[in-house]
Amino acid sequence: MTVSWAPRWMCSYSPEVRTVPAGRWWNAVRVPLALGVPALTALGDATGAVIEDGFGGIMYWLVPPGDGADWRLSGVQVLGAGCHVAVPPLRRTSGPGLYWRVPLSHDRYWTDTARLGAALTSAAQFPAPL
């Protein structure tokens, strides 16, 4: 994968996972795979970038800074100011480990917060078996 674009907070040439502070460029919505997989399916092409931690069974969506902070969804944690997120290099688009399940790109960045909230609420009613 050739990377021709990278946001300021991302080092486009680094092969290393980076720890990036949340709350400035985005908030991260952290969910277990049992909620994340059906939510991702429901969102389809409307999803923004998604990070998956293949070892930890966790998915992260990027949403606009400050968004989702008032959510009270079981199993969902919104990481904003004061939190940090491990971010894989842009070229890492498959596991094992930490990778971009839906790659970050100029036109695929944030996920619409309301749509993500609806998809996660629906997924919480009928979680996917792992």
Query: pTM of the prediction?
Result: 0.88
pLDDT of residue 5: 58
Q: How confident is the model at residue 3 (pLDDT cuts 50, 70, 90)?
A: very low
Q: What b-and-e string marks burial along 9-19, b requiring 16 or more CB atoms within 10 Å of the CB?
A: ebeeeeeeeee
Query: What burial class does residue 125 get, using C-beta atoms within 10 Å of its C-beta: 0-12 exposed, 13-18 middle, 19+ buried?
Result: exposed
| Residues 68 and 113: beta-carbon distance below 8 Å | yes
Q: Does residue 85 carry a pLDDT above 50?
A: yes
pLDDT digits (tens, 9 = 90+) for 28-74: 999 999 999 999 999 999 999 999 998 999 999 999 999 998 988 88
Least confident of 29-38, 81-90, 101-110, 115-124: 101-110
